[in-house]
Amino acid sequence: MDRRTVLAGAAAIGASALTAGVVPGGLVAPASAGTSGSWRAGLARLHEAMAARVARRELAGIVYLVAHRGLLHVNTIGTLTLDGHEPMRRSTPFRMASMTKPIIAVATMMLVEEGRLVLDEPVDRLLPELANRRVLTRIDGPLDQTVPAARPITVEDLLTVRMGHGIIFEPSFQPPYPIITAADELQLVMDQPDPRTPHDPDEWIRRYGTLPLMYKPGQRWQYNTGSIVLGVLIARAAREPLEKLLRKRVFRPLGMNHTGFSLSRADASRLPGLYRANPQTGQLELQPYSRPEEWTRPPAFPSGAAGLASTIDDYLAFSRFLLNQGVHHGRRLLSAESIRLLTMNHLTPRQLADAGFPLTGRGWGYGMAVSVTPDEVSQPGRYGWEGGYGTSWFNDPHRDLTAIALTQTIDFWFNGYYEEFQRLAAAVDTPR
């Protein structure tokens, strides 16, 4: 099957065919399960928009789903690579990038419930490398111009990424700030997850501990670093490697058998190509990093910010666990109160105003964004996050709605693609 055949087949799918794979409870079954016209029409609009993106070569391919009031629809469009023959499949593994963060936050709350961590405790007990923090007097200043931090970093500071350090989202700054240059020289990989840091968690945190903070702990929302540090913290709290912790507490109980920091050789060979548009030509170009062979061995540093690969059904299991208030197949894995803390906004009005990209008007819970005002997707209370390699997820608890889109095109996050997906997915409706 070549790419033209895949695209032609996708374009030929009508509204009636889009009900295939939809039955109450989300099980796979033929279209005879019985669905409403509004559901079919909404799915048709979503399919047409995503198929058009693939046909225009804005995406190589996409796997997406919409789950709403007991109905589930999964669709696959396009191929693993732009000019390849292998189609996207429901079982295709994807680099999840920052959609790792909500999973790490859930594992953290499991440890909090067990008493291994306390939300307002300083991280110094388990991360002595971060004791006695100092803070830059100004963000672009030299590293030796600092003042003592007013208080220690807490566990909740990491969950809300208000620890005082993170990515600086600016169009350009020349020359780079000294704090950014220093992190690069230490090979800490504080921004995009590839190329990966060569350091193991102990060496990574030791090196990171030599840097001052950018801001006071708790002062402002600043993306990414808190989640990286959180992965080191919870592994130490559990006294086991992060991969083993997640497999024991999250992946195995939820049946997420195809999620991890590394993949089998067979699964790694099915990773889609990773693409980004050339800024001059606008054409997608295959990126030279995060190659499939890298995923066949465990990384030196399993990143709590962006290190996982997964499939759409595995992430659906995680999503439904949150919507079900911490219960999976009748078994409670996390309290409803912990789910509330994970999925509520913790930022102050000032922090919301200062957050900017990539939060863009949303609030932040633990490891994920939370809508705080009505928008074109939902009323306040929707939560979820995106991954910088081209993935998107949200739950709308008020409508019992989950939407997940998986691509491996970096532009999906930046050029309005995921907003279009979320808007059309939210417009899919079923009878009340």
Q: What pLDDT, on the 0 to 100 scale, is given for residue 239?
A: 98
Q: What pLDDT, on the 0 to 100 scale, is given for residue 225?
A: 98
- Mean pLDDT per 10-residue interval, the chain, length 432 residues: 43 35 33 64 97 98 97 98 97 98 98 98 98 97 97 98 92 77 96 94 98 98 97 98 98 98 97 97 96 98 98 98 98 98 98 91 96 96 97 98 98 92 92 61
Q: Radius of gyration over alpha carbons of the chain, in Å?
A: 21
Residues ≥6 apart with Cβ < 8 Å to 52: none
Coarse DSSP helix, strand, coil percentages of the chain, rounded to the nearest 5 percent: 35, 15, 50
Domains and CATH numbers, the chain: 3-102+244-427 (3.40.710.10), 119-238 (no CATH)
Tokens 């049946």 correspond to: 255
Element (H, E) at 243: helix 242-246
- Strand duo 61-68 + 401-406: pairing: antiparallel
How far is residue 221's CA from residue 10's CA, in Å, rounded to a whole number?
42
Q: What pLDDT, on the 0 to 100 scale, is given for residue 81?
A: 98
Chain centre to alpha carbon of residue 106: 13
Helices (H) and strands (E) in the chain, counts: 15, 15
- Tokens representing 119 are 């939300």
How far is residue 25's CA from residue 386's CA, in Å, rounded to a whole number?
26
Question: Are 166 and 223 in contact, with CB atoms under 8 Å apart?
Answer: yes
Identify each DSSP E strand in 8-70 by its residue range: 61-68
Bridge partners, 74 (sequence order): 65
Q: Is 95 helix (H, G, I), strand (E, B) or coil?
A: strand
Q: What pLDDT, on the 0 to 100 scale, is given for residue 1?
A: 42
Q: What pLDDT, on the 0 to 100 scale, is given for residue 361?
A: 84
How far is residue 336's CA from residue 327's CA, in Å, rounded to a whole number?
9
Q: What pLDDT, on the 0 to 100 scale, is given for residue 173?
A: 57
Question: Are 113 and 338 in contact, with CB atoms under 8 Å apart?
Answer: yes
- Tokens representing 171 are 């169009």
Task: Give the residue from 325, 393, 351, 321 showing the smallest Cα distance to 220.
Answer: 351
Write the DSSP assignment of 99-161 as a string of letters.
GGHHHHHHHHHHHHHTTS--TTSBGGGT-GGGSS-EEESSTTS-TT-EEE-SS--BHHHHHTT
